[in-house]
């Protein structure tokens, strides 16, 4: 088998960090929001897994693009798109929110930042939320402006993240609470920093608006981080599956609703907020969901998913596995699977064929650890 290359172009946007991570040995990219998102560096997947769980990594996650909603009707538009109740959202806080269509189908699962009632950022997963937002705003004649500002997020993730951050931003950074954000000074520039990130190893995300200052900060992290064994990294397949962080387009898409995705705590149906698909979700909740995202553990030592694989019991399909990896912690393959009713209620053994070989597995809860 040969490796294929993705031909870069203006359409597959580079980030402000691309030339740096290419010097630092990035070996593969995926495309996310029409932008390069690093997927691997030279070390093996198990080496980078151990490194992320013990030290600190700097990630180019600029592909987590911001959709800015500004203006008199900004709150109304943001609330119209999500089933999470944002009516009492606080300034300076982040909210993980399902964005859904008129059928309750998942459009995206962004982190939403509230600056104030008239300014929000939607930090999107991989789908064109700006177009969806523009369509709704035009149809509803909302007084808003919708844009994608050139914000390039750099994540600092890992158990040593705050040792490194404290060296640069001082003790004040230690007071930042989970899913809160604040501006911090660096040289003569201000950077929005949120305590968040697509791993469960701790850390922050820096929403870089001043790219020159952001690149100076990037370089300084590697200089000051030597004593903490800092390395460049990227969202990690094994760590994110073990932690139960969902990946839009892989684990769920427009054919799945947030109740099927286990997002019940982000679905508000019993007050008077107004969002698309509310009636539909009320109906679905009443009649009960027909499938649900669950964890699976498979007695195998290798898997490389490119598309979903069916899971069966006595040759009957009980669901499909949508993301998977070999877990060094569980010493078997683990994955995220959409399991049909009633099988998600029972934890029966199932069969799966991987590369023409039959394996057995079991259904479990998410997160795994
Ligand atoms: N950070 C930022 N933007 C993002 C992501 C991010 N945009 C794209 C993508 N990731 C969106 N998807 C997710 C999926 C899971 C989480 C965040 C974004 C996540 N969930 C936490 C959890 O499940 O514990 C927290 C949820 C909560 O309790 O509020 O972190 O990573 N800026």
Residue 365: phi, psi to the nearest 5?
A: -80, 160
pLDDT score at 369: 76
The answer as to whether 70 is a domain residue is no
Quick one: which atom of ligand 1 is closest to the CA of 110?
11
Determine the average pLDDT of the residues in 208-219.
98
Q: Kindly tell me if the per-residue pLDDT of 33 is higher than 90.
A: yes
- 157 and 52 both lie in a single domain: yes
**CA distance between the termini of the chain:** 35
Quick one: which atom of ligand 1 is closest to the CA of 96?
29
The answer as to whether 341 is a domain residue is yes
- 246 and 327 both lie in a single domain: yes
Cα distances (angstroms) measured from residue 15 to each of 35, 112, 289, 354: 7, 21, 40, 36
- Cβ–ligand 1 distance for 260 under 6 Å, the answer no
Alpha-carbon gap, residue 216 to 185, rounded angstroms: 13
Helical (H) or strand (E) element with 214: helix 211-224
Q: Kindly tell me if the per-residue pLDDT of 1 is higher than 80.
A: no
The answer as to whether 133 is a domain residue is no
| Sign of the C-alpha dihedral computed for residues 145, 96, 64 and 4 taken in this order | negative
Quick one: which atom of ligand 1 is closest to the CA of 207?
32
What Rg value do the Cα atoms of the chain yield, rounded? 21
- Cβ–ligand 1 distance for 64 under 6 Å, the answer yes
- 321 and 279 both lie in a single domain: yes
> What's the total number of domains in the chain?
2
The answer as to whether 80 is a domain residue is no
- 38 and 50 both lie in a single domain: yes
- Cβ–ligand 1 distance for 109 under 6 Å, the answer yes
Residue with CA at minimum distance from ligand 1 atom 27: 96
List pLDDT tens digits, range 81-113: 999 999 999 999 999 999 999 999 999 999 999
- 307 and 282 both lie in a single domain: yes
* Overall pTM surpassing 0.95 (yes/no): yes
Nearest to residue 83, comparing CAs of 291, 292, 263? 263
- Cβ–ligand 1 distance for 85 under 6 Å, the answer no
List pLDDT tens digits, range 295-328: 999 999 999 999 999 999 999 999 999 999 999 9
CATH code assigned at 358: 3.30.1360.120
Determine the average pLDDT of the residues in 49-71.
98
Residue 198 CA, ligand 1 centroid: distance in Å:
6
pLDDT score at 5: 87
Q: Which domain holds residue 186?
A: 18-62+151-241
Last-in-domain residue among 241, 275, 306: 241
The answer as to whether 343 is a domain residue is yes
- 234 and 258 both lie in a single domain: no
pLDDT score at 281: 98
- Cβ–ligand 1 distance for 246 under 6 Å, the answer yes
The answer as to whether 132 is a domain residue is no
Residue 232: phi, psi to the nearest 5?
A: -70, 150
Determine the average pLDDT of the residues in 164-188.
97
Last-in-domain residue among 212, 241, 270: 241
- 301 and 161 both lie in a single domain: no
- 297 and 196 both lie in a single domain: no
- Cβ–ligand 1 distance for 125 under 6 Å, the answer yes
The answer as to whether 47 is a domain residue is yes
The answer as to whether 117 is a domain residue is no
In the chain, the percentage of residues whose pLDDT exceeds 90 is 97
- 214 and 267 both lie in a single domain: no
Residue with CA at minimum distance from ligand 1 atom 29: 96
Last-in-domain residue among 241, 270, 293: 241
Determine the average pLDDT of the residues in 280-288.
98
- 211 and 267 both lie in a single domain: no
CB 233 within 8 A of CB 51: yes
Quick one: which atom of ligand 1 is closest to the CA of 124?
7
- 197 and 317 both lie in a single domain: no
- 221 and 246 both lie in a single domain: no
């Amino acid at each position: 088998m040969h490796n294929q290359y993705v031909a870069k172009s203006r359409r597959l946007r580079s980030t402000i960090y691309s030339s740096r991570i290419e010097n630092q040995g990035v070996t593969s990219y995926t495309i996310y929001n029409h932008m390069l998102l690093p997927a691997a560096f030279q070390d093996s997947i198990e080496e980078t897994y151990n490194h992320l769980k013990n030290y600190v990594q700097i990630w180019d996650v600029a592909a987590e693009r911001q959709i800015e909603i500004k203006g008199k009707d900004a709150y109304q538009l943001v609330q119209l798109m999500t089933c999470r109740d944002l009516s009492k959202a606080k300034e300076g806080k982040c909210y993980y929110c399902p964005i859904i269509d008129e059928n309750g189908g998942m459009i995206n699962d962004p982190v939403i930042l509230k600056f104030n009632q008239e300014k929000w950022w939607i930090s999107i997963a991989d789908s064109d939320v700006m177009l969806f937002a523009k369509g709704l705003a035009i149809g509803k004649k909302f007084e808003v402006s919708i844009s994608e500002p050139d914000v390039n997020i750099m994540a600092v993730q890992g158990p040593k993240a705050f040792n490194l951050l404290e060296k640069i931003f001082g003790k004040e950074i230690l007071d930042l609470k989970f899913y809160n954000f604040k501006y911090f000074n660096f040289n003569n520039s201000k950077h929005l920093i949120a305590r968040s990130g697509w791993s469960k190893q701790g850390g922050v995300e820096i929403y870089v608006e001043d790219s020159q200052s952001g690149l100076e900060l990037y370089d300084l992290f590697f200089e000051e981080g030597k004593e903490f064994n800092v390395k460049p990294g990227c969202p990690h397949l094994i760590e994110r599956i073990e932690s139960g962080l969902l990946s839009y387009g892989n684990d769920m898409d427009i054919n799945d609703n947030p109740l099927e995705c286990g997002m019940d705590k982000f679905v508000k149906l019993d007050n008077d907020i107004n969002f698309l698909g509310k009636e539909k979700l009320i109906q679905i909740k009443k009649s009960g969901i027909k499938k649900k995202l669950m964890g699976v553990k498979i007695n195998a030592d290798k898997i490389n998913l490119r598309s979903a694989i069916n899971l069966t019991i006595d040759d009957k399909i009980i669901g499909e596995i949508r993301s998977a990896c070999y877990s060094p912690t569980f010493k078997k393959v683990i994955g995220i699977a959409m399991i049909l009713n009633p099988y998600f209620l029972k934890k029966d053994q199932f069969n799966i064929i991987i590369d023409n070989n039959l394996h057995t597995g079991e259904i479990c809860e998410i997160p795994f650890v």
